[in-house]
Structure 1
Amino acid sequence: MNSKISFINTFFKGLLIGISNIIPGVSGGTMAVALGAYDELLLAINTLRKDWKKSLRLLLPYVLGAVFGIGALSFVIQGAMDAYPLVMACLFLGLILGGVPPLWQKAQKEKKGFSEALLFMLFIFLILFMTFVSTDAMESTTIIMTPLTFFILFVVGVIAAATMIIPGVSGSLVLILLGYYDKILTTLSTFIRSVFDLNPSGIGQGLLVILPFGLGILLGIGLVAKLIAWLFNAYPGKTYAAILGLVAASPIAIFYGLPQTTFTLPTAVFSILALALGYVLSTKLGEK
């Protein structure tokens, strides 16, 4: 029974991480940190060759949850973001804030000095820069496949995965900067519809885009996971300072660019409730 509960709990964490990766401004890496999943995910990815059975057993519910979150719930979440942007932003902020106390406790055990403070500020400015220059980076939502496009999609996948795994950095925001966010999301939505409609042509066209992008994501995750694991071992204090800087800037990245809405009492109440719900969810899911 405990193993079933653990699987469901881990699946739900993966679902939240997956959803976070498709919403601009929200960081899947930060969500993993907030949910207490980041360290074990990093370890499982880095020990995949040495102990592949154990790693796959740990990664499977995360991957299934993330795929379900990105695929099945992308329409729902995107619709909710369009209809209730402030409420949804508060929900994600609550999820992130719930993971700050344990992260802060870990950071307090490490060395603190001028270099750590400098890194903290530099990474705050990095997120602010990426957030403020991302506006209007998209043009067309159509991808015309050529051998060059295939290679570009692979490279974009590597870059996107690298940023998705770093706490505080929004992979979706980076895709917007690269001009591929709407293109990938539109392709994914069309592909899912084609699968349900049993449309071979639509499935084939979708796979031509998804395969190189997906291969790039797998390579990017593997490379960056090893780099971050090395940084934690070699420079733990500086790494925690950088991550805290990334997390500290996340609220600005989440709320910046939200569409203007009429601020009413119900909106305020539901936003506060969403913030509280997100905080409680993050706290409970992060418990070992």
Structure 2
Amino acid sequence: MSKASDDARGEVTASWLVVFFKGVCMGAADAVPGVSGGTIALVTGIYERLIAAVTAVSPGRIVDVLGGVAPDGRTDAVQALREMDVRFLLALGAGIATAVVSITRVVHVGITDFPVPTFGFFFGLIAASAWVLFSEVEMDTPGRIGAAVAGFVFAFVLSGQAAASLGTSAPVTFVAGAIAISAMILPGISGSLLLILLGQYEYMTGTLKAFVDGLLGLALGGPVGPVAESGVVVVAFMLGAVVGLFTVAHAVRWALEHHREPTLAFLVALIVGALRAPVVSTTNQLAELGRTWTTEGYAVFAVAAVLGAVLVLLVDRYAGLAEIDDEEDTAARSVD
């Protein structure tokens, strides 16, 4: 094999490793509410490619890929895989999954054992996200104001009642997956925030932790029961996410393209209304631990919230710089 061929193969491997690590960054963001994986995609320069790849996934192309098992269908299958940018999605998805599995284990411990600073940090992340998005919205028409009111009321009511009213059944998990995946194409909106809003965040982080622990135990000769029990939930969530790619994500994309301002108004108000969720979750978790709010607890919550807000504002600043660089590059190419 020639040196040129080795160098070319090394460059390809390096490029996919870069995509993988960008996925790790996105997954780390998506694992916590407030910081959007979409924003990280924008900062790292892969947002447009991600949107193109996600929206290219369609039932027709999936059928073409499945038809590749027959010799006469392989050409169409290869073409469909290229149009969906599958190599990119696989490398990025592997990075996202690696980070989500790792981060959620830590987050779940924080939620169960240290709820005040953990949910305080989440509160700051969510509040700063609302502030960042608010700068892009003008509440100057009845339609936008109405959309904002609807978003706030929906989130405020749901964030206080979802965990108790929705429960943790397989259908609810399926729907949660379909809704959470839509955050992939929304800079500023986190999939974890949507899970908190639906009252599924603590349940899913705990289930994912149990699933990974079960897999590790099974590899060491342990029972299959823990894997099967938590695996049903994980599969339901993933199936919901796949369906969401064909439905919810496309619907959100359409709404942003055709009714951008009212949609953003709804989303910003949704985030503001969702600020109730971390407070309610903290209170509930403290009750489970046999504790209540204290003056020290309020102070810790506030400090953690400030830290979370600063993190989002820093990420947004870098995202803004990334957008400016993209616009300058586009302008330079148009001149050339």
TM-score relative to the length of structure 1: 0.71
Deviations 1:110-152 (Å, cap 9, x if unpaired)?
Answer: x94111111011110000110122354588x8xxxxxxxxxx7
Distance 2:281 2:316 in 1: 27
Matches within 5 A, 1:85-164: 85-100=115-130, 103-108=133-138, 112-134=140-162, 136-137=164-165, 153=170, 155-164=171-180
Conserved? CA contact 2:130–2:272, under 8 Å: no
Question: Partner of 2:311: helix, strand, or coil?
Answer: helix
Q: Which of residues 10, 15, 21 in structure 2 aligns to 1:8? A: 21
Matches within 5 A, 1:1-288: 8-17=21-30, 19-20=31-32, 26=33, 31-32=36-37, 35=40, 37=42, 40=48, 41-49=50-58, 52-53=81-82, 55-56=85-86, 59-60=89-90, 62-100=92-130, 103-108=133-138, 112-134=140-162, 136-137=164-165, 153=170, 155-164=171-180, 165=182, 167=189, 170-174=194-198, 176=200, 182=203, 187-197=207-217, 198=219, 199=222, 201-202=224-225, 203-259=227-283, 260-264=292-296, 267=300, 270-271=303-304, 274-283=307-316, 286-287=319-320, 288=322
Superposition deviation, residue 250 in structure 1: 2.8
Superposition deviation, residue 226 in structure 1: 1.0
Conserved? CA contact 2:177–2:241, under 8 Å: yes
Query: Which letter maps to 2:156?
Result: L
Conserved? CA contact 2:19–2:91, under 8 Å: no
Cα RMSD of the aligned pairs, angstroms, is 3.9
Distance 2:178 2:232 in 1: 22
Conserved? CA contact 2:20–2:95, under 8 Å: no
Conserved? CA contact 1:131–1:173, under 8 Å: yes
TM-score relative to the length of structure 2: 0.62
User: What are the ranges of 5 or more consecutive residues in structure 2 without an aligned counterpart?
Assistant: 1-10, 62-79, 184-188, 284-291, 323-336
The structure in which a higher percent of residues are helix is 2
Identical residues among aligned pairs (%):
16
User: What are the ranges of 5 or more consecutive residues in structure 1 without an aligned counterpart?
Assistant: 21-25, 142-151
Distance 1:61 1:96 in 2: 28
Distance 1:213 1:44 in 2: 21
Which protein is bigger by CA-based radius of gyration? 2
